[in-house]
Structure 1
């Protein structure tokens, strides 16, 4: 295909995977860029003939040109903010975790609180730390550390006393909040672990980071994502504080990527939030209109936390009870954070306003309840009712994580017009899987985990996500695990390899599939003329490599709207 004018840039000498549905492998081709758009894709010699005196010719020398990756579930402000504090995620064992905490506290005596994240359940006996372990490291001030998945926290005695967890002033412990609990010993005293929404009892006492710090965290998070070839994302939990930062960066022209904001639904509050969310969306649209420049931050989604997690907490909502450690059937089915009628009302109200519901659902009951709510919302609103976005497209509800999916629900995903935001990096046989998950699910349900191939076969649209900082944002690592069902560089057995995806489908999940989830397939997600020149260049052709080496690949350049915004080195 030729363009009427000479292109601004020609990328030549590479392999191009367009990510168009149905494409199975890359082709040797060049890509022409003019302004913000791709204007031609074709053989090198044909496109070189289009070059003019001012055309910049970039030889990618056998590397792989892909559409820019898009992450449909990520927390860049949180991730960079966590990295600026105590971070023990990479510690290999209990001794390393404790040493790192002690060293951080000793190195920062000026801090009012010791805060951070990243402790891993499989480093502790029974999956949980104690207040005494943290007291030994931080005895002089409150300490608050999130678990690596964000669904539990570890606090010391000073924090417990500050929050009144042992005595609320009445001589007895306070009641647990809905959707969470304070872990207690036989004596009724807090052990130092807070599960799910109980983390908020202490976290509300932690001083907020100032705007300047949050702004710096966003820009640092954006740099990190661009370096991974990620040119767009959906921030999966945007409170007013995060929205303020996105608006600031957008107004200053600092927001390079295109971002969908999933405005967080606070489950402890009421339905007055719907009007607030509508106002928050309208205010951004109005400010963008006043500037005369389209906003790159689009607050068009709403994040709904509907259940917990399996590993460590056993709070993900299950149809049948979990097993106990000895293999007997327990009475615990996990937690649904919304009653059926409340979830139905919420989803219907959001879809009626053109918002995209973005569910956190891990357990098979959690997934089913979210799908049921979408089904009832569609029935209530009618096929032609106003459950569409500003462009007239269906809102495409997203169900994220979907760790355990009952076979009866897999075909329903496509039937209901929903999209799966998958985190394929979790589909592996790490210790947290073999020690803290499989024993409590049992053999049959364990095999229902992360059923990507089954979902795809049933027609479910798959989109890629990382949940960074819970796991790395690197899409190539996620693609590797989606194809091999194990982490790059590890020789453990694959996790249910029958659910592995072909490489082309795994790449499309992070490109075209994510563009569909983000309502951006008309402008991105493929290497095709007319679409935005959002591209990721990978240092090797992963389609020509052994599957076990996919994860060794690295992004060497990232282009956004025709501008190179990242180059390795």
Structure 2
């Protein structure tokens, strides 16, 4: 056997599925894993120039891959007015005012990250921001609601007579005047007056995001929104520039945004763009072979498409069952056409009716086109009717989990569950049911909607509660995942979705040495302590891309 450039020894190895392998070492030559050998043979792979990495009981895992993330938007928010760390409404307002004071030259105050559960009814008012002398526009942490001040409303020409758009609605005061929060497509009413996204800001945002994500052990992702989109800058040019400058270290599959009010003509445009980009950039760095279709909204603002109507604040059943952003018949036709064109479909499907409509569309495509390698996947899956669970495997559809959300927390307990039908809590994020039905899993974060840390999400997937929570597991213990299954979803599962399972997502000979070292070994601690496992180092193509020790030295 050839001498290794790098040898990892002294810890267990999670290969991408099942329980960790003990008593073995992993050798790397160049950018590839060259051997996995018993510890007794490891010394034969050590030469004068070999870097021996003593894991000292830490776990070696394939690098994490995020199946649903918005890196450029997240990075831009890091560089703009960032409210992600706010603890309450007063803190949010104080941060906006501090940012405005520190950036007097900015014509608009832009950013996001505010939490709906910090404000009554999940809807902050314009008055809270009216002390600021410029227009303010801030996206909620889930990017489904927009908070603005009076100056922004006036510039946009919006008043009491402005109707709600078909794909959203405006929070209003008693006289009908906009109150300051615009949900879903209503946020697009500011598109003509807000400043355009800066290409340079998007590029700097991508690089900032890449640093953040690599430090969390993430070595690849699916960008869930590329192409034309109003609330997030199109990241394609940022990726292209990063590739040209040799600064994109990870591998990315981009999901092209399906315009809700468009038709099947989008299929030809998307495939042409896919093919043009493939001729320009290396596929191991960037592909755009996926289409993102947003089937519905979110439950907190009652735009998630449900099989049963929402209740009002008094517990009375309303006539609102949420929004289907794409007509179900058009959705079936679109998915069939995309599948035939070799495009993968990435669905935002949050409510149980949206899940049904998405699965109907995948089944229609399978019936029309026969089996394909589309690897269509449904993201979010907040409420899934029991009847839909076996349909995933039958349609060969992947469940794309945002596991961090599968727990009792204020936004769920205060703004969602009280307004849903009886028994809906038991159908929330039914991960266990999906596994028992033989459904393929992938996993992602939806960052910057929520933390991008895979270990935080894996902790919740296993416990169905956040660290230190005294609440019962959301949906019952039967929906908890075992640790190996949760880890696999975030590694080999997402590699499969991204069509990269041939060289990433696993620790196997010949695979890229995209690796993460985790301490303490999450398999060696109680389930309630999984969150303590953090990244010591991240390796991309055989080279260290992040070392926690370097960060600690810089902070000292």
Scaled by the length of structure 1, the TM-score of the pair is 0.93
CA distance in 1, matches of 2:311, 2:170: 22
SS of 1:195's equivalent?
Answer: strand
Unaligned runs of 5+ in 1: 168-172, 389-393
Q: Which residue of 2 aligns with 1:219?
A: 207
CA distance in 2, matches of 1:210, 1:328: 46
CA distance in 2, matches of 1:89, 1:213: 19
Relative distance call for 1:548 and 1:26 in structure 2 (3 A) is farther
Residue 207 (structure 1) shift: 1.3
Q: Which residue of 2 aligns with 1:66?
A: 61
Residue 352 (structure 1) shift: 1.2
Matched, 1:12 2:1: no
Q: Which residue of 2 aligns with 1:234?
A: 222
Q: Which residue of 1 aligns with 2:148?
A: 155
Are the equivalent residues in 1 in contact too, given 2:136–2:148 (CA < 8 A)?
Answer: yes
SS of 2:280's equivalent?
Answer: helix
Matched, 1:44 2:39: yes
CA distance in 2, matches of 1:28, 1:209: 52
Are the equivalent residues in 2 in contact too, given 1:250–1:295 (CA < 8 A)?
Answer: no
CA distance in 2, matches of 1:160, 1:434: 31
Q: Deviations over 1:514-533 (max 9, x none)?
A: 11111111111111112111
CA distance in 2, matches of 1:532, 1:488: 33
Relative distance call for 1:505 and 1:552 in structure 2 (3 A) is same
Matched, 1:249 2:229: no
SS of 1:365's equivalent?
Answer: helix
CA distance in 1, matches of 2:271, 2:219: 26
| Superposition CA RMSD, Å | 1.5
| Structure 1 segment 326-345 matched on structure 2, within 5 A | 326-345=314-333
Q: Which residue of 1 aligns with 2:97?
A: 102
Residue 105 (structure 1) shift: 2.0
Relative distance call for 1:305 and 1:258 in structure 2 (3 A) is same
Q: Which residue of 2 aligns with 1:92?
A: 87
| Structure 1 segment 182-197 matched on structure 2, within 5 A | 182-197=170-185
Residue 470 (structure 1) shift: 0.6
CA distance in 1, matches of 2:316, 2:165: 29
Are the equivalent residues in 2 in contact too, given 1:285–1:295 (CA < 8 A)?
Answer: no
CA distance in 1, matches of 2:297, 2:190: 19
Are the equivalent residues in 2 in contact too, given 1:17–1:27 (CA < 8 A)?
Answer: no
Are the equivalent residues in 2 in contact too, given 1:375–1:416 (CA < 8 A)?
Answer: yes
Q: Which residue of 2 aligns with 1:300?
A: 289
CA distance in 2, matches of 1:324, 1:25: 49
CA distance in 1, matches of 2:127, 2:201: 32
Match of 1:508 among 481, 488, 505: 488
Are the equivalent residues in 1 in contact too, given 2:309–2:421 (CA < 8 A)?
Answer: no
Matched, 1:481 2:460: yes
Residue 206 (structure 1) shift: 1.8
| Structure 1 segment 287-436 matched on structure 2, within 5 A | 287-288=280-281, 294-311=283-300, 313-383=301-371, 388=372, 394-436=373-415
SS of 2:189's equivalent?
Answer: helix
Residue 208 (structure 1) shift: 2.2
Residue 344 (structure 1) shift: 1.3
Residue 294 (structure 1) shift: 4.5
Are the equivalent residues in 1 in contact too, given 2:348–2:379 (CA < 8 A)?
Answer: yes
Residue 178 (structure 1) shift: 2.4
TM superposition outliers: structure 1 runs of 4+ over 6 Å: none
Scaled by the length of structure 2, the TM-score of the pair is 0.95
Q: Which residue of 1 aligns with 2:262?
A: 269
CA distance in 2, matches of 1:204, 1:15: 55
CA distance in 1, matches of 2:416, 2:164: 25
Matched, 1:32 2:32: no
CA distance in 2, matches of 1:220, 1:133: 30
Residue 188 (structure 1) shift: 2.1
Are the equivalent residues in 2 in contact too, given 1:488–1:552 (CA < 8 A)?
Answer: no
Q: Which residue of 2 aligns with 1:76?
A: 71
Are the equivalent residues in 1 in contact too, given 2:136–2:152 (CA < 8 A)?
Answer: yes
CA distance in 2, matches of 1:431, 1:530: 46
Residue 367 (structure 1) shift: 0.6
CA distance in 2, matches of 1:68, 1:53: 27
SS of 1:410's equivalent?
Answer: helix
CA distance in 2, matches of 1:146, 1:104: 15
Q: Deviations over 1:42-61 (max 9, x none)?
A: 22221221223332222121
Are the equivalent residues in 2 in contact too, given 1:534–1:560 (CA < 8 A)?
Answer: yes
CA distance in 1, matches of 2:193, 2:272: 28
Q: Deviations over 1:112-134 (max 9, x none)?
A: 11112122222222221112222
CA distance in 1, matches of 2:283, 2:253: 13
Residue 457 (structure 1) shift: 0.6
Q: Deviations over 1:244-277 (max 9, x none)?
A: 1111111222111110001111213333322221
CA distance in 2, matches of 1:295, 1:68: 15
Match of 1:468 among 447, 455, 462: 447
Residue 24 (structure 1) shift: 2.5
Q: Which residue of 2 aligns with 1:391?
A: none
Q: Which residue of 1 aligns with 2:231?
A: none
Q: Which residue of 1 aligns with 2:503?
A: 523
Match of 2:530 among 543, 547, 550: 550
Are the equivalent residues in 2 in contact too, given 1:144–1:203 (CA < 8 A)?
Answer: no
CA distance in 1, matches of 2:210, 2:118: 31
CA distance in 2, matches of 1:351, 1:250: 28
